[in-house]
Amino acid sequence: MKVAIIMGSDSDWPVLKPALQLLTEFGLETEVIVASAHRTPAKVHDFVATAPERGVKVFIAAAGAAAHLPGVVASMTTLPVIGVPIYGTALNGLDALLSIVQMPSGIPVGTMALNGAKNAAIFAAQILAVGNPSIQDKLLVHRQNMVDEVEAKAAKVLADQSF
């Protein structure tokens, strides 16, 4: 099972790299590509059309500004598409968020928060975990690690109550 990460520009990579790292921690295979819905539409089409034969089960698609890439990917496949709007325009990412979240009926894109690539990775893993106990276990470990991190921070604050 593989997750494909597609971004419209290399400038999106710093936002998406943590998603790749998290998917790797979950033991999931990934593919990463830069392809623009507007400038390289044939590349997008070829990547999406051949994804099932490469074992891709879920897409994470990120874009800023007009943010058509997640919707274009969704229009070409019945596989789940998770959209990540990228913060980076004069509109502070609101344009990207609205472009991704306001998909027409019948072409859904699960939309994360602005720059929400980590949640996109977790959501992709959750989709793949349906019927896969190994991935479910890794997600549970991840959740417990978050609990442990919060408790460690809380203990540090309690210990540092000197004035």
**Element holding 15 (H helix, E strand):** helix 13-25
Q: Which residues neighbour 77 within 8 Å (Cβ) at sequence distance 6 or greater?
A: 48, 49, 51, 52, 59
Q: Which residues are annotated as a binding site for substrate?
A: 9, 12, 39
User: Which residue's structure tokens are 């070409």?
Assistant: 76
Q: Which residues neighbour 97 within 8 Å (Cβ) at sequence distance 6 or greater?
A: 67, 85, 111, 114
Residue type, 58: V
User: Which residue's structure tokens are 């276990």?
Assistant: 137
Q: Which residues neighbour 101 within 8 Å (Cβ) at sequence distance 6 or greater?
A: 83, 85, 109, 111
Q: Give the count of beta carbons closer than 10 Å to the beta carbon of residue 37.
A: 22
